């Protein structure tokens, strides 16, 4: 399965804040924090799926920036770097884009029960990220150095 995620930030050119979303369900993931996003439907373009998911989950319209593509050694074990996707063990793979809100104020409408804007210094340790999201968060933070 292909999943899409957004590194929703305050500014695409110079990000300082990142939105984290806390899962409400399923029970195995409840209470863990992740990047917002969701499943790509059959026949759907991944970028369009991400825009749709953010509209449904958070009630926002977004501008997508660059895709964050994994490189060998970024927690993918080298297995997925060549494919340009992040592994989601037991689920499939994920593609991630930088994004910023164009319209609306993010609210937890569907799969989440809380949202939190993290300041740059808190991106890695400000919340208890789900294990599959940690390599992505680490790469996002490293991309800003």
Domain positions in the chain are 2-143
DSSP per-residue string spanning 62-73:
EEEEEEE---TT
State yes or no: pLDDT of 21 exceeds 90: yes
Cis peptide before 23 (omega within 30 of 0): no
What is the pTM for the complete model shown?
Answer: 0.91
Q: What distance in Å separates the CA atoms of residue 66 and residue 27, rounded to the nearest whole number? A: 32
Residue 74 CA to residue 101 CA, distance in Å, equals 27
In 3D, which of 95, 108, 93 has the Cα closest to residue 68? 95
Q: pLDDT tens digits for 41-84?
A: 999 999 999 999 999 999 999 999 999 999 765 555 555 455 78
CATH topology of domain 2-143: Nucleoside Triphosphate Pyrophosphohydrolase (3.90.79)
Whole-angstrom distance, CA of residue 136 vs CA of residue 8: 13
């Amino acid at each position: 399965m292909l999943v899409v995620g957004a590194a929703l930030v305050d500014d695409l050119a110079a990000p300082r804040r990142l939105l984290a979303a806390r899962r409400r369900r399923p029970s195995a993931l409840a209470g863990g924090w992740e990047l917002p996003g969701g499943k790509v439907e059959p026949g759907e373009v991944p970028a369009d799926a991400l825009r749709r998911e953010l509209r449904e989950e958070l009630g926002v319209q977004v501008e997508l920036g660059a895709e964050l593509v994994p490189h060998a050694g970024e927690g993918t074990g080298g297995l997925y770097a060549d494919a340009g996707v992040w592994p989601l063990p037991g689920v499939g793979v994920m593609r991630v884009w930088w994004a910023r809100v164009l319209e609306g104020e993010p609210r937890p409408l569907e799969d989440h029960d809380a949202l939190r804007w993290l300041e740059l210094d808190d991106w890695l340790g400000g919340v208890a990220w789900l294990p599959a999201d940690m390599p992505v968060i680490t790469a996002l933070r490293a991309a800003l150095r």
